[in-house]
Structure 1
Amino acid sequence: MKILIIQQKMIGDVLTSSMLFEALKAQHPNAELHYLINTHTFSVVEHNPFIDTIVFFTKEHESSKLALLKLAKSIRREHYDVVIDVYSKLSSNIISLFSGAKTKISYYKSYTSALYTHNIKRKPTATSTDGLAVEHRLQLLEPLEIHQTNATPKIYLTNQEIANSASILERNGIHLDQPLYMISVLGSGVNKTYPFKYMAKVIDSVIKTTKGQVLFNYIPNQATEARAIYELCKPEHQKNIHFDVFAKDLRGFLAITSHCDALIGNEGGAINMAKALGIKTFAIFSPWIDTETWGAVENSNHVNVHLKTYAPALYAGKADKEMKREALSLYKSFKPSYFIEKLQIFLNQTLADRPKLNI
């Protein structure tokens, strides 16, 4: 059996959908499994042992109808038995149509249902702690008689990547035998970024509670914003922040994060990647993001906070996404005092879980 899974666009989506490969291999160990993804998302599935071949969807495919058609024709020459279109947008509709696969699976949409042999209606509410983002993807396996109810995306690092990142940290004065925390200081946009002065208070609480070392997760073009948050932290805590220690690429970030006791900050791709590495997370959700989709998993290792929990009256009669245009004003209401105690409990647990050194 030869299967193609299509999941274009965002890194978080590509990572989440990658869990389907392990489930497929468990049921069909001899199946040949291919993954069609955007080039820039490759880092989160590199070295995944359950994926046999990566097919890249490039910027050229995105901008040129002719290039997209050529890709679709090349897909047809692969003679896939099954195509699972998780992305379910125009480009993947075309690829699925041209594939010639006997079994074509996607989510139900009235205007594309004729293209697929199986159209899956998404369940409205989560029935497990994994969240709807996971459960909806697992539904796509049901036509193949795979009825899995839970799964966890995983990122696979090599021993060399882990060793190299440890050396980088140590050369920069970071002690791996002491608490180390990665802070996701910025979201993917303004309406997903916790206010700077509030984030500084969160960082101050991390350092005060743990006496730990802190790294900032940001990319070079975000340095000005990240520096602004650093400057808002208490002067006595700034010495614990290794501001200039950050990875040059995504695999580097993943390897560095693997050495951290936890990743704390804005909910988003970094939080999901940390979870896939088995790292503890404390996620601050944007006021308009639905926690049931991306943050249902919550235990001592993974904690989520959302304004709706503390000020439900603001959401009366409204869906979270209706609040998107009010995100900035809602953020002002989402004061750190609401959840600082919860954060401190989480931090103390990370300290308790650190390996004990033999003296």
Structure 2
Amino acid sequence: MKKALIIQNKYIGDVLVASVLAKNLKNIFPHIEVHFFCYNKAISILQNNPHIDKIIDFDDIELKKLSVLWKYSNYIRSEKYDILIDPYAKLQSRFITLFSKAKKRISFDKPFFKHFYTDVYIEEKLPKVINCTSIENRCLLLSPFIKDFSNIDFQTEIFLTNAEIEHAKQLMHNSGITFTKPIIIIGILGSSMDKSWPLSYMADLINVLLSNYDIDILFNFIPLQHHEVEILLEKIDHKEKIFTSILGNNVREFAAILSNADALIANEGGAVNIAKALQKPTFSIFSPHKFRKDWGCYENLYIHQSFHLMDIFPEIYTAYSPNEILKNP
């Protein structure tokens, strides 16, 4: 029986996207054993995934220590993988790849380190199928095993239990949600202010929604952003239709709450990725230095739409370099 390892550094969105590789490996090799190596902060997004047989987690700070890296490298070598897929190809994952002795070591064609791998591929600059390179390029790493990409399943998935979904529904009910009208979750902020649509614009959007539709709105934010929430609430006319206490204590609880809602409007980021994996309708607002071609996943489907500054001011992107836009989004 074949055994494969997927290495994915970084956080929730990247790990969720890379989990598509596990599903497709299982489709290509029905009896393959698939392991996943990721940050311990991202484990929850993979729990209960039937396509992943083992999760090997690590602390991103600890892995930078040579002794810890060596320990993991020896462990992975002892597992005797046939296939190793390394989409992100950071220094630590390259080191692990080099010592793994896997028969197939697959990544992207990057300078200096491509000889660590048996198969390397040039990343596509533009999407072809589902409107985002982040997933399509990762699936490009399946090329040694599949020639007809029409057979690839690009859909990300989160596998919640019935108990998780019911618990979230009860939390919502206890907070005053009656489930008699549409429930919209709004991700009012990104992970930082430079990735967040200005609060005054978000307030205008929320006021238009509440003036025109009979809906309940749940705010999604992290506790550290409570001050910004208070600022936003001061600008909103019908505060009684806003619920700010139903946050979820972790990623899975948030996903379960979202599974009981009807749609998500948010700054593009992790919450949008979770909604798309649950196949909930989304409207996402991109930060000017992030691009739809990379993360506008599944916008070939009617239920997912987005807005980008480029839609109304394309001239900005010829007048300024990407670095200038990044410094002043």
2:239 maps to 238
Shifted more, 219-228 versus 188-197: the winner is 219-228
2:142 maps to 141
In the alignment, is residue 312 of structure 1 matched against residue 320 of structure 2?
no
Separation in 1, partners of 2:61, 2:297: 36
Secondary structure, counterpart of 1:4 in structure 2: strand
RMSD across aligned C-alpha pairs, in angstroms? 1.5
Separation in 2, partners of 1:29, 1:201: 51
Shifted more, 122-131 versus 311-320: the winner is 311-320
Separation in 1, partners of 2:314, 2:19: 35
* Compared CA separation, residues 30 and 250, structure 1 to 2 (3 A): same
* Compared CA separation, residues 60 and 296, structure 1 to 2 (3 A): closer
Note if contact 2:28-2:145 (Cα within 8 Å) is conserved in structure 1. no
Note if contact 1:289-1:321 (Cα within 8 Å) is conserved in structure 2. no
Secondary structure, counterpart of 1:260 in structure 2: coil
* Compared CA separation, residues 125 and 318, structure 1 to 2 (3 A): farther
1:347 maps to none
In the alignment, is residue 169 of structure 1 matched against residue 172 of structure 2?
yes
AA matched with 2:290: I
2:325 maps to 323
AA matched with 2:317: Y
**1:27-176 correspondence runs (5 A):** 27-59=28-60, 61-145=62-146, 147-149=148-150, 151-176=154-179
Separation in 2, partners of 1:146, 1:252: 38
In the alignment, is residue 204 of structure 1 matched against residue 184 of structure 2?
no
Query: What are structure 1's unaligned runs of at least 5 residues?
Result: 328-359
Selected match of 1:178 from 154, 178, 181: 181
Identity, in percent, stands at: 36
Note if contact 2:248-2:257 (Cα within 8 Å) is conserved in structure 1. yes
Note if contact 2:64-2:92 (Cα within 8 Å) is conserved in structure 1. no
Note if contact 2:130-2:297 (Cα within 8 Å) is conserved in structure 1. yes
Note if contact 2:185-2:217 (Cα within 8 Å) is conserved in structure 1. yes
1:258 maps to 259
Note if contact 1:2-1:31 (Cα within 8 Å) is conserved in structure 2. yes
Query: What are structure 2's unaligned runs of at least 5 residues?
Result: none
Residue 300 of structure 1: CA displacement? 2.8
AA matched with 2:115: A
**Normalising by structure 1, what TM-score?**
0.87
Shifted more, 60-69 versus 107-116: the winner is 60-69
Residue 293 of structure 1: CA displacement? 0.5
1:213 maps to 216
Note if contact 2:175-2:245 (Cα within 8 Å) is conserved in structure 1. no
Shifted more, 265-274 versus 296-305: the winner is 296-305
The superposition leaves residues 33-60 of structure 1 with CA deviations (integer Å, 9 ceiling, x where unpaired) of 0000100101111111111100112245
Note if contact 2:85-2:141 (Cα within 8 Å) is conserved in structure 1. yes
The superposition leaves residues 204-243 of structure 1 with CA deviations (integer Å, 9 ceiling, x where unpaired) of 1222232211111111111111222122212xx1100011
Note if contact 2:132-2:293 (Cα within 8 Å) is conserved in structure 1. yes
* Compared CA separation, residues 53 and 281, structure 1 to 2 (3 A): same
Note if contact 2:8-2:88 (Cα within 8 Å) is conserved in structure 1. yes
Note if contact 1:141-1:147 (Cα within 8 Å) is conserved in structure 2. no
1:345 maps to none
**Normalising by structure 2, what TM-score?**
0.95
